[in-house]
Amino acid sequence: MTHICIFPNWNNDAPIYGFDIVCGRNKVTGAFHDYSPTVDWEHPMVNLFGDFVSELEWRKTRELPPWAQAIFSKHMVAASNVKEDEIDQVITMALDNLDTYLEELPKYTTSSVDTALIREKQNRYCYYQKQNPHTPKVMESLGLPADDVKHFIEDCLFPEV
């Protein structure tokens, strides 16, 4: 399991970059990618992400649960049982969108933004991410103790600040 998030500074209202990939012994069971909005659900970067992924197709998509619908954009990529011939598309998508994200991010840093609001919305994202029941299940299936998993998710992976 790989879970990557990039949070903008609190003086930047850009969305959060997120990419997850979950693999079993013989297959990729899920791939998830988004520029998740915080303050502005129609942020230019969210719409740019939508343009990038609008042409991509997956054999099997996933319905997002309520906790995910609360934080992910309408352009969220949620692919299930990713086939071998789709792996290159997943990797290219994530890397190209990472390059674009890092290039676009500085454009939205400003001193006129409400830093308390950005902090609140980023904490909201963390709160809902911690509602994902799959993250602890996967970690525990790898043999990690439940208490360590809880600590990691609460305090390391998605700490509210």
pTM higher than 0.85: yes
126 contacts 160 by C-beta, under 8 angstroms: yes
What are the domain boundaries of the chain? Answer: 2-113
List all residues 6 or more positions away from 86 whose beta carbon is below 8 Å from its beta carbon: 58, 59, 79
Write out pLDDT tens, residues 74-114: 999 999 889 888 999 999 999 999 999 999 999 999 888 89
Look at domain 2-113 and name its CATH class: alpha beta
- Residue type for position 151: H
Q: What is the DSSP string of 51-86?
A: HHHTT---SSB-PPPHHHHTTS-TT-EEEEEE-GGG
Write out pLDDT tens, residues 16-65: 999 999 988 888 989 999 999 999 999 999 999 999 999 998 877 788 89
CA distance to 127, 128, 137, 152, per residue, from 146 (Å): 19, 19, 9, 10
